[in-house]
Structure 1
Amino acid sequence: MTDVLDSIEAKLRHAFTLSQLAVENESHLHAGHGGAAEHAAEFGDGPSHVHIAIEAQDFAGLSRLARHRAVMEVIDDEVAQLHALRLTISAPG
């Protein structure tokens, strides 16, 4: 994993009581797309597109928007280094 992905994973593990977590670099799926060259110029060969699939009891009873806000608050610094982020957020059960 890259430093950005490692940091995302560490922060999410610390912030939430997780049932599942996957932090995946999907940059290879978007190579050559608009913005790829600009992202590479600014951030080098670090990930540009990331998918986070997270399940935690902390999200029970929260709306989809509230779940996304909770995750984004935790990883705000890392998100600033990405071109795109895809979130799949759920509570167990």
Structure 2
Amino acid sequence: MSSIHALIETTLRDAFAPERLSVLDESAAHAGHAGHSGGGESHFRVRIISSAFAGRSRVDRHRLINAALKPAFEKGVHALAIEAGAPGEAVRW
């Protein structure tokens, strides 16, 4: 596991105590696009299920995750796709 990947996973586990969490490095699929670094770790997809998101809008969930991951953005994350849900919600996984 890479360093930024590990940072994202650890940060989300600590901040949201998720029931399910998947962090995917999709950087290779963005080769040649803006923000892509040759070494990867620039584009990620996060899928997370946490009770912390219950009753919150999609925008609020994304804001919480983006705020928690500020250190990852400071280390070079360019793009983050987020799929966030609360337990019991129908979430495409």
> Would you call these one fold, judging by a TM-score over 0.5?
yes
Which of 43, 48, 55 is residue 42 of structure 2 equivalent to?
48
Partner of 1:3: 3
Structure 1 unaligned blocks of 5 or more? none
Q: Which of 73, 76, 79 is matched with 1:79 structurally?
A: 73
Matches within 5 A, 1:14-93: 14-36=14-36, 39-40=37-38, 45-80=39-74, 81-93=76-88
More helix by share: 1
Identity of aligned residues (%): 39
Relative contact order higher in (CA < 8 Å, ≥ 6 apart): 1
- Give the C-alpha shift of residue 34 in structure 1: 3.4
Q: Following the alignment from structure 1 to structure 2, what is the Cα–Cα distance between the partners of residues 35 and 7?
A: 19
5+ residue gaps in structure 2? 89-93
Cα distance, 1:83 vs. partner? Answer: 1.7
Q: What's the CA shift string for 1:48-90, capped at 9, x where partnerless?
A: 1100101101100001111111111111110231121111111
Structure of larger gyration radius = 1
